[in-house]
Structure 1
Amino acid sequence: MSAVFSSRGQSGASSPAVAARRRFVFAALTGFSFLGLAALMFAAMRRGGVLPVEGVMLALFLVTLPWLVIGFWNAVIGLLLMRFSRDPLAAVNPMLADEASDSPVETSTAILVCLRNEEIDGVALSVETMLEGLLREGALAHFHLYLLSDSSWPEIIAQEERLACSLQARWGGDIAVTYRRRADNHAFKSGNIADFCQRWGQGHDFALVLDADSFMEAPAILRLVRLMQRHERVGILQSLVVGLPTMSAFARIFQFGMRLGMRSYTLGSAWWQGDCGPYWGHNALLRLKPFMEHCHLPELGGRGPLSGPILSHDQVEAVMMRRAGYEVRVLPVEGGSFEQNPPDLVEFIRRDLRWCHGNMQYLKLLTMKGLRPVSRMQLVLAILMFVGSPAWVAFMVLSAGLFFLYDDYLNQFDPALGAALFVSVMSMVFAPKFATVFDILATRERRQAFGGAARIVAGVAGEIVFSMLLAPVMAIAHTVFLAKLAMGRGGTWSAQARQLHSVPYASAIRRLWPQTLFGALGVTWFANVAAFAVLPALPVILGPLLSVPFTRITASPFWGRVALLSGLWRIPEETDPSGDLLRLGLPALPAAKSQEPYGEPAYVEAPAAE
């Protein structure tokens, strides 16, 4: 067991032989699972002969499989590591095997806070708290704070300038503070960081990249710096980012589910990705010299929404850094590195569609020269993450159509094999969550951190219902957006609404009418064509049908308070918040609740930004 799940080589890097063996094992597991599920689907269809439309459905089913089987085996490997490896973290990131947690900081790190029309009060509090933490650690002199603005709204620009002056007045004796605003935000965030590199990059060893909603505690920042100092061949070191405690019911349930699947999934993926790890664009440390030399992003040629600047820059920069011979590693440790998740479904969709737009540009990068095989596969998977949605929607629509085209279709499909296929797929879908839940329930300390066994089980049940309602809504949103891209229409990259706010019916309907129409047509179809199949079709049509009230309820500050007071969907930071999190004054934390009866949120009765 130890031979499979741990080994290390020189300079904190797994030996090439071990990395190759792990990738071979993972490819074999996922490949056999892919072929097995495809064979099971084909066998179920063969009972009455494979119809032409079933051949199309089989092809669509294959498109949806890669993320499914990869997520399953990531979770299985992660669970095995958590339960059987003596040191799971070192097994997937050998940098941690010889970590020197008390080594002096001897390098210069630029803290890059990237802004674009953001609510400034929250940014100010996060930055102040990070600086106070670094001052307590005695390391502040080794950092330089850069506020890198791409803002265009006059009132926001004025707030940024006041913040910069305030920070310079308070902290100027301990840390350099630089504020810069670009009048033209060409290439968006990647252009913002490229401008920093061109102006000031030569003056620093590392850059800590933060978004406006990012927060990192000082020990977590210093851990990244010390590891990067010790391991000179590491070009990007990505921290494991978790959601901040929140009063939003939507974000609360979503990030609880993410937290359940995150540990096993990240450990499993890091086990085989190794030195070709992910970069998520924030809460990560960059080695500036190779980043500036090797990660310059090209402009994509041609016309249409997939041309121009690369929008989802992070994964491209990761594969380019690895192509240059530098490692890209993830630090799979929960705690100390946070982000703020979208507070409602409308904002969640807007963020996801921005990623969808950027990932589709990878189609033009698949032939990039010199990429490692794992890196090229990562680009393919990033595309399939969204292409799988229209494939799934088309598969479901064709499945419903078969009942109309063939009165005796059920007699042509093997029910036993169909049931086996359904159980297999559902097991793979929920494997990442169940793997981590099993590990949490097996450990008394972790059970208490998540609120106790009863709350965990109830929270998991609620989160599964939430996920089943959410999944088809997102799939339809991706499908509609990809159809627009195919017709030459792109999206807009506007500021994210981060404050808790209610979502008016008009805003929800304007954004979610395709989902509502899909659900209504689905109910009408099954009621008139195949009433016996309404019940098994509910997971597909119920979420879209209820998407507008679902959005209203999960965005409601009232139901956010109810969720918080119930203790459901609790994360460890709520049970035992650090001093730095308490200083942020988050309404979901005990210190904030002691000041207000229910921790009053920043409440805005206004439509989310379109």
Structure 2
Amino acid sequence: MIANDAQITDHGERALPDESPLLMNRHEVSEPGHRLTPNQQTVWFTLRTFVAQLFVFMVTASLSTYGIREMYLVLNTNAITSLQMVFLVLFSINFLWVTFAFSQALLGFLLHLKPRLIKENETEPDFKTAVLLPIYNEDPLRIRATIEAMSADLIATAPGKYAFFILSDTNRADAWIAEEQTFLDLINNSQPQCPVYYRRRHQNSERKAGNIGDWVQRWGGDYEAMIVLDADSIMSAKSMVTLSRRLAGAPGVGLIQTLPTLVFANTLYSRLQQFANQCFGPIYAEGLSAWHGLSSNFWGHNAIIRTKAFAESCHLPILSGKAPFGGHVLSHDFIEAALLRRAGWGVRFDTDIEASFEEAPPSLIDVMIRDRRWCQGNLQHSAFMFARGFSLPTRLHLLSGVMSYLSAIFWLALIMVGLAIAVQAAFIRPEYFANPSLFPTWPVFDSERALSLFVVSMAIVLAPKAFGWFAALINIPRCLQFGGPILLTLSTLLEMVMSALYAPILMVSQFGVVLSIFRGKDSGWMPQSRDDGALSWMSVMRAHLGHTVFGVALALTALSLSTELFYWLLPITIGLMLSIPLSWLSGGARRTKWIKTVGLLRAPEEKKPVNILVKVKENEANLPHLRHIHPFSRLVNNPLLLKWHLAQLPDVGEQKPTFYAPRIIAEWKLNHAESLPQLESWLEPAEVIALLSNADYLQKLKIIGN
């Protein structure tokens, strides 16, 4: 074992510092809440937060009241049928959700037009900050390129103040040994001014939350703060130093979240997300930050956390019941922010910290796969929404997470009920005297009022994009970074059109995801795709055949009822009917290369590259690609790597032997194999892991390999 911050000079030593444990007691879903301490916020900050919350509430309430009242008048001026009442309820839920999002964007837009009045307090920290990179079956070359760039930046900016920890939960044998081979030189050559450490968990319980928790409980005592990154996160030294200074200047704050900027997009779908993130995102984020105050949220990465506050507050409860709703909390970040706030720590969202980056999923199908995991995690949050101790903003965060997926149910239900009303009007004779009355109940539909409400609804939906476009347009330097006013406008229109086409596909996909979760299917834990998402036509057809058939059926049903209804539903049905070519176009860097060539969907970083991003790309280009070989061959052919790998294995000398079938079977195959290729062909994945985890087996492996 080596001392803290000591440079590793011997390939046989462990890649970790001495442990400095922090206790983490597991918490319950319901516990008493604590108020924020008085020194956490000034009177002006408190007043500003209250006014922002009041603004959001008043705008949401006013617009929702107007929309729901208008829809009621649209449906019937005499009496409303039971089916129409269902339609009205569904419309009310959806309209309330849309106006809530609009009110936050409007608040952000108004704040964005004026200079920033409050500058967050910053103090030079007297503590060290750990930079944590949890990884799970990732490309190690990308991780190494990023760490090399960030650590060099930190050595030049704040030497001796930061240390990197690569926290691996990788469970594939080939990825595990490839990680070690890639990181060996990085760790051995790291400087004492910013050391790099590596730890792989041999049992990845509780997923990413357990990964971070394991680090806190073993090394958290030496670091007052930790910056949590994702596998695709990049931050400049200036941003990380600013985070540390702001945390030091706010002793009652437990977490500060930055606004990550999407970069490196090279496919149609990722470029759409990147443009929306950079053009519209800052407006919405500024509104969120204003009304959140010190009860903000956490997105799991690109944030700084006070380590002791996290240890005291954030050991997640285990939910009762079985997966998908029970067991370990999947979407841990929302709940960790909620637990920090419940314990009396402020959680802040600072949108003005620049050079905080991440990457977007490359294709529509990759988003659908990610949604499966996120949806299950967000629906789990329903267990916390009415639990004891949480503040109102926290409950709204949890509700927003749940509604981000349940809204697909409500939107699709609204469409189907509306279609049912049209079918009823076309084929079922109205019961004019269904209720005892001297006068008949005439079915009435106010088409003029319906058109007006539709226009208002579309304006509310599209307004946040218009806010972002206008804010970029009047900021001349930023406008030029987007390519100038013409390209900015064309990019905004293209994003609106393409997002409208992809939206119904995602709606139907999320509808199916929610249903599968309610049927008890667990999402598992799949690594996120980091390539360009290019799929064959057959793969895309298999994924979207159901969407296409549903879109065609919906369009034909509407057309059989009336031409007007067909056109009303066309914004939904056209995306579904074209889901296969749209999804195929969404991934693959070459398929829509012309968009980048003509300057559409341009990001500011493409016009004026940020130094840290340039350095990451240069590092990645200079690193040699790893050959795809079996992990046994990789170790046997590299004695230094084998020695280092053995040093990273946990000490099992004092542990009692346990029955593990893959280990026993692997040992038999190891003893009976006549050559290394034969052994490699015999073993199952779990058996390979078992051999790689045992030093005695690896010594025998050397004999077979020689």
Q: TM-score, normalised by structure 1?
A: 0.90
| Inter-CA distance 334–570: structure 2 relative to 1 (3 Å threshold) | farther
Cα distance in 1 for residues equivalent to 2:493 and 2:201:
47
The amino acid across from 1:62 in the alignment is S
Kept in 2, the 8 Å contact 1:48–1:413? The answer is no
Kept in 2, the 8 Å contact 1:241–1:334? The answer is no
Give the equivalent residue in structure 2 for 1:185: 204
Give the equivalent residue in structure 2 for 1:59: 89
Of 133, 139, 142, which aligns to 1:122? Answer: 142
| 3-state secondary structure, aligned to 1:140 | coil
Give the equivalent residue in structure 1 for 2:701: none
| 3-state secondary structure, aligned to 2:209 | helix
Where does 1:365-404 land on structure 2 (aligned, <5 Å)? 365-404=384-423
1:237-274: per-residue Cα shift (whole Å, max 9, x none)? 00110101321121001221232221111111211111
Give the equivalent residue in structure 2 for 1:134: 154
| Inter-CA distance 580–555: structure 2 relative to 1 (3 Å threshold) | same
Give the equivalent residue in structure 1 for 2:574: 542
Kept in 2, the 8 Å contact 1:235–1:321? The answer is yes
Give the equivalent residue in structure 2 for 1:68: 98
| Inter-CA distance 227–497: structure 2 relative to 1 (3 Å threshold) | same
Greater shift in the superposed pair: 63-72 or 148-157: 63-72
Residue 18 (structure 1) shift: 4.3
Cα distance in 1 for residues equivalent to 2:145 and 2:533:
20
Give the equivalent residue in structure 2 for 1:337: 356
Cα distance in 2 for residues equivalent to 1:459 and 1:452:
10
Matching of residue 557 in structure 1 with residue 589 in structure 2? yes
| 3-state secondary structure, aligned to 2:202 | coil
Cα distance in 1 for residues equivalent to 2:323 and 2:337:
25
| 3-state secondary structure, aligned to 1:207 | strand
Name structure 2 gaps, 5 residues minimum.
Answer: 1-37, 431-441, 627-706
The amino acid across from 2:317 in the alignment is P
Greater shift in the superposed pair: 512-521 or 534-543: 512-521
Of 437, 440, 444, which aligns to 2:476? Answer: 444
Give the equivalent residue in structure 2 for 1:106: 126
| 3-state secondary structure, aligned to 2:227 | strand
Task: Say how many residue pairs are matched.
Answer: 572
1:514-536: per-residue Cα shift (whole Å, max 9, x none)? 32222121122123232332222
Give the equivalent residue in structure 1 for 2:486: 454
Matching of residue 144 in structure 1 with residue 174 in structure 2? no
Moved over 6 A (4+): 408-411
Kept in 1, the 8 Å contact 2:261–2:357? The answer is yes
Greater shift in the superposed pair: 230-239 or 173-182: 173-182
Cα distance in 1 for residues equivalent to 2:191 and 2:353:
32
Cα distance in 1 for residues equivalent to 2:535 and 2:229:
28
The amino acid across from 1:130 in the alignment is M
Give the equivalent residue in structure 2 for 1:584: 616
Where does 1:560-571 land on structure 2 (aligned, <5 Å)? 560-571=592-603
Residue 48 (structure 1) shift: 5.9
| Inter-CA distance 304–582: structure 2 relative to 1 (3 Å threshold) | closer
1:40-93: per-residue Cα shift (whole Å, max 9, x none)? 11111123632211111111122223431122111111111122x3316x2xxx
Cα distance in 2 for residues equivalent to 1:572 and 1:67:
31
Q: Which has the larger radius of gyration?
A: 2
Matching of residue 267 in structure 1 with residue 297 in structure 2? no
Cα distance in 2 for residues equivalent to 1:368 and 1:329:
22
Greater shift in the superposed pair: 21-30 or 364-373: 21-30
| Inter-CA distance 193–426: structure 2 relative to 1 (3 Å threshold) | same
Kept in 2, the 8 Å contact 1:114–1:149? The answer is yes
CA-based RMSD of the aligned residues comes to 2.2
Cα distance in 2 for residues equivalent to 1:97 and 1:110:
22
1:483-521: per-residue Cα shift (whole Å, max 9, x none)? 111111122220111111411123222322332222121
| 3-state secondary structure, aligned to 2:189 | helix
Matching of residue 492 in structure 1 with residue 524 in structure 2? yes
| 3-state secondary structure, aligned to 1:279 | coil
Matching of residue 28 in structure 1 with residue 58 in structure 2? yes
Name structure 1 gaps, 5 residues minimum.
Answer: 1-8, 91-95, 596-601, 603-610
| Inter-CA distance 467–25: structure 2 relative to 1 (3 Å threshold) | same
Of 90, 94, 116, which aligns to 1:87? Answer: 116
- Greater share of helix residues, 1 or 2? 1
Cα distance in 1 for residues equivalent to 2:88 and 2:366:
34
Kept in 2, the 8 Å contact 1:246–1:586? The answer is no
Kept in 2, the 8 Å contact 1:64–1:389? The answer is no
Kept in 2, the 8 Å contact 1:116–1:150? The answer is yes
| 3-state secondary structure, aligned to 2:269 | helix
Matching of residue 423 in structure 1 with residue 455 in structure 2? yes
1:296-342: per-residue Cα shift (whole Å, max 9, x none)? 10000012411000001111111111111111111112630111100
| 3-state secondary structure, aligned to 1:406 | helix
Give the equivalent residue in structure 1 for 2:186: 167
| 3-state secondary structure, aligned to 1:584 | helix
Kept in 2, the 8 Å contact 1:145–1:178? The answer is yes
| Inter-CA distance 352–586: structure 2 relative to 1 (3 Å threshold) | farther
| 3-state secondary structure, aligned to 1:278 | coil
| 3-state secondary structure, aligned to 2:216 | helix
Work out the percentage of aligned pairs sharing the same amino acid. 28
Residue 563 (structure 1) shift: 1.6
Cα distance in 2 for residues equivalent to 1:69 and 1:142:
45
Kept in 1, the 8 Å contact 2:169–2:202? The answer is yes
Give the equivalent residue in structure 2 for 1:474: 506
Kept in 1, the 8 Å contact 2:162–2:193? The answer is no
1:428-460: per-residue Cα shift (whole Å, max 9, x none)? 111211112111111211110111001011111
| Inter-CA distance 79–57: structure 2 relative to 1 (3 Å threshold) | same
Residue 278 (structure 1) shift: 1.6
1:361-391: per-residue Cα shift (whole Å, max 9, x none)? 0111123221112111221221111111111
Kept in 2, the 8 Å contact 1:553–1:559? The answer is yes
Cα distance in 2 for residues equivalent to 1:291 and 1:197:
8
Matching of residue 296 in structure 1 with residue 315 in structure 2? yes
Matching of residue 223 in structure 1 with residue 242 in structure 2? yes
The amino acid across from 1:545 in the alignment is M
Cα distance in 2 for residues equivalent to 1:330 and 1:420:
37
Cα distance in 2 for residues equivalent to 1:186 and 1:311:
11
Residue 586 (structure 1) shift: 7.9
Residue 97 (structure 1) shift: 4.3
1:581-610: per-residue Cα shift (whole Å, max 9, x none)? 1122289xxx99xx9xxxxxx9xxxxxxxx
| 3-state secondary structure, aligned to 2:187 | helix
Cα distance in 1 for residues equivalent to 2:402 and 2:482:
34
| 3-state secondary structure, aligned to 1:168 | helix
1:387-423: per-residue Cα shift (whole Å, max 9, x none)? 1111100111121222221129997321122112211
Give the equivalent residue in structure 1 for 2:368: 349
| 3-state secondary structure, aligned to 2:254 | strand
Give the equivalent residue in structure 2 for 1:463: 495
Cα distance in 2 for residues equivalent to 1:257 and 1:182:
37
